[in-house]
Amino acid sequence: PSPQQGYTWTITFLDYKGDVPTLLVTSSLVGTGSQISVQEVRKGNALGGNFTLTYSSSVTDPIDYDAPAMAAAVNPDGSSLQEKLEALDVVGRVSVQRSGPDTEGGFSWVVTFLDNVLNSGDLPLLRGNASALTGVGAVVFTKEVTKGSNAVGDQLWLSFDPPASDNGSPLTKYQVRWDTSAKFTANPADVFLTDADILYRTQRITTGAPSLAWSNNMIQPTVPEIQKLTVLAAGTFTLTFRGVATTTLTAGATAQTVGATSIANLEAALEALASVGSVDVSSAATALAVNAEFLVTFTAQPGALPLLQPSDLTVASVVEVQAGATNFRKEVVVFSCQATAGQVRFTYNGDNADVDFNAALTDVESSLLTLFGVEAESLSVSSVAAPTTLCSGADIVITFDRVYGDISLIIARKTALGADAVITPNPDASIDGVYNDNPALTMSGTFQVGYRGQYTRPLNAESSADQLRYALEDLYSIQTVGVAREQSYQPLQGKVDVTEGEIFVTCSAGETCDFYSAAYGLPGYMIRIGGDWYTVRTDLVSPGLSSTRLYLGDLNGREVGYLGSTQTGVTVYEWTKGYVWTVDMLSVASPLGYIRAKVPRLVPDDATVRIFGSACDKCYYLPTQTSKKL
């Protein structure tokens, strides 16, 4: 409140379309000079009406502002953008994709010309007429995404990425020198690109702080657990790990003693335990013998591990040589339950799931999925022994495959008349999860951008696409812009091979990827591959991350196949905790020029704001005359 106990309420109308009448207020306030007022912060706006498109002097029939992309499969009515274009004599078959609406009802359509006879090669741009559209600042904006090609081998594509603006003199042209000779001795020619539409029509405002990226903040390096087994006397013993014992091992007076367990058989005995997986055992000795020492390196169990427990401490001892360290490990909870009546209560973050004592383990799993609010296969419930009910007395194993972190799950008898469940935790077999995320690694502060000498108000580092758009459109020099936002990014080492539709990627030949050590981020972290964003995801087998595959999820963490085409040697990008706002300059003061940025007030110190002009993806031919040969 203000010093006089006054308040300000900001009301955003979410469902009302267009300009909202001003609210009327009646004051019943008391107090000297008390008053209440209503002020419009921003007018509502809603697109409506229709528009037309012109192609090679042919004009379409009016197209609704929200026209569907493609004709309906059943009873097409001619209202789609596809049908409007294909109705023109000069347009063949097209494919159309639509996205939107935005907050003001605007849509975007991507048109691909498929007729290689009627519409082959480089085509004229569609031109829009917005005179019949309703709404403040309504425009129809078209731009070429990729040039068409006749694939005759007589021209070259030209593509380039724009340099970042350093707020010095604006970029005014590109100069390209080209020749068919590598030494530029055949017939060199210069091309100058000065078209403002190529230079400035689409611009990118990028913020980011490399110091906040995961590659600069891996909490600790991943190192394996190493333990040393020392033979103290001749005899037999077993080694127990997480409650499971090996077969009997025999130590002799010397390595040549008949029956002494060889180093290979020691390794095999350990790897036979499901709780161990793979290990490397090294020693100067060839078999278990008095005073011999063996280093056991755990290669499949990440993080710090409990010691191997010899059954006879007079025969063998185990000490830790190197504590394991990891940034991620799955949580595993093991317990047993005995009961003849009542329910068992599972509690997580103050929420409860009550399950009958004789419930099938599949029902227990369903209840836990609901308790944690996650999709199927995010966790599993199994039994070490044959019984498949909750309180059979056998150990129950809950594995959190895709619920991350050190999870505090409370398991107890639900208090009720006659309930007699006895819960016995198994700490030896349970595994504490590890998720070394640092939520404090975020960018904060403000920045300002402007156009033709006018600058926006300070914008938060987390500003949405609409917030940036509204701030730009508040400038007198800008009427209408289109803004889209995605995360900012930087490349990671270790390229990958991708397969369209596959739920994982693999390391490219000759590259070092280190999936197991979370080199690409923890589960749930965002990564960019082939122009699309994914999240890192775990498999259902590994105790941590897979060592050979990087599994993909969508931005909600759900399983998704790779969206791009099959390729090898693809770069993976990580989030630098900033954003890229792509701004289409739809209706702005002339002449068209660069957006500018003031010195930002962003934290940390290496946070930057950079402005990029339009990128060119096969946007220009060399030579430009189609009749001229290379």
**Residue 34 — pLDDT band, cuts 50, 70, 90?**
confident
**Residue 104 — pLDDT band, cuts 50, 70, 90?**
confident
Inform me whether the pLDDT recorded for 625 exceeds 80. Answer: no
Q: Residue 156 has what pLDDT? A: 77
The mean pLDDT of 296-309, rounded to a whole number, is 95
What are the tens digits of pLDDT across the range 393-452? Answer: 999 999 999 999 889 999 999 988 889 999 999 999 999 999 999 988 999 999 999 999
Among residues 125, 127, 214, the alpha carbon closest in space to that of 577 is found at: 214
Inform me whether the pLDDT recorded for 350 exceeds 90. Answer: yes
Helical residues (DSSP H) of 520-560, grouped into ranges? none
How far are the Cα atoms of 232, 239, 289 from residue 312, in angstroms, in the given order? 10, 9, 15
Can you say how many angstroms the Cα of residue 515 is from the centroid of all Cα atoms in its chain?
Answer: 16
What are the tens digits of pLDDT across the range 364-398? Answer: 999 999 999 999 999 999 997 777 899 999 999 99
CA distance 109 to 95: 10
Inform me whether the pLDDT recorded for 1 exceeds 80. Answer: no
The mean pLDDT of 490-507, rounded to a whole number, is 96
CA distance 95 to 111: 6
With the C-alpha atoms ordered 290, 295, 301, 306, is the resulting torsion angle positive or negative?
A: positive
Two structure tokens written together for 293:
């020492």
CA distance 72 to 318: 72
Q: Residue 6: count other Cβ atoms within 10 Å of its Cβ.
A: 12
CA distance 202 to 481: 10
Inform me whether the pLDDT recorded for 164 exceeds 70. Answer: no
Among residues 572, 562, 436, the alpha carbon closest in space to that of 512 is found at: 572
Inform me whether the pLDDT recorded for 100 exceeds 60. Answer: yes
Q: In the predicted model, what is the mean pLDDT of the chain? A: 90
**Residue 595 — pLDDT band, cuts 50, 70, 90?**
very high
Q: Residue 622 has what pLDDT? A: 75
CA distance 157 to 154: 10
Q: Residue 168 has what pLDDT? A: 64
**Residue 242 — pLDDT band, cuts 50, 70, 90?**
very high
Inform me whether the pLDDT recorded for 171 exceeds 80. Answer: no
**Residue 349 — pLDDT band, cuts 50, 70, 90?**
very high
Half-sphere exposure of 160 (CA within 13 A, CB side): 16
Inform me whether the pLDDT recorded for 358 exceeds 90. Answer: yes
Inform me whether the pLDDT recorded for 120 exceeds 90. Answer: no
CA distance 608 to 210: 9
Of 114-128, 139-153, 302-316, 549-563, the least confident: 139-153
Among residues 574, 517, 508, 564, the alpha carbon closest in space to that of 544 is found at: 517
Return the higher-pLDDT residue of 600 and 10.
600
Q: Residue 9 has what pLDDT? A: 86
What are the tens digits of pLDDT across the range 553-592? Answer: 999 999 999 999 999 999 999 999 999 999 999 999 989 9
**Residue 238 — pLDDT band, cuts 50, 70, 90?**
very high
Q: Residue 122 has what pLDDT? A: 82
**Residue 624 — pLDDT band, cuts 50, 70, 90?**
low
Q: Based on C-alpha coordinates, what's the Rg of the chain?
A: 33
Inform me whether the pLDDT recorded for 209 exceeds 70. Answer: yes
Inform me whether the pLDDT recorded for 267 exceeds 60. Answer: yes
Q: Residue 239 has what pLDDT? A: 97
Using a pLDDT cut of 70, give the percent of the chain over it.
Answer: 96
Q: Residue 151 has what pLDDT? A: 62
What are the tens digits of pLDDT across the range 172-199? Answer: 888 888 887 788 788 888 888 888 888 8
Inform me whether the pLDDT recorded for 76 exceeds 70. Answer: yes
Contact 402, 377 (CB under 8 A): yes
Inform me whether the pLDDT recorded for 628 exceeds 70. Answer: no
Q: Residue 44 has what pLDDT? A: 77
CA dihedral 357, 358, 359, 365 (to 10 degrees): 60
Inform me whether the pLDDT recorded for 54 exceeds 60. Answer: yes
**Residue 159 — pLDDT band, cuts 50, 70, 90?**
confident
The mean pLDDT of 590-610, rounded to a whole number, is 92
Inform me whether the pLDDT recorded for 167 exceeds 60. Answer: no
Among residues 489, 487, 479, 488, the alpha carbon closest in space to that of 584 is found at: 479
Two structure tokens written together for 379:
């966790």
Inform me whether the pLDDT recorded for 234 exceeds 60. Answer: yes
Q: Residue 314 has what pLDDT? A: 96
Contact 197, 592 (CB under 8 A): yes
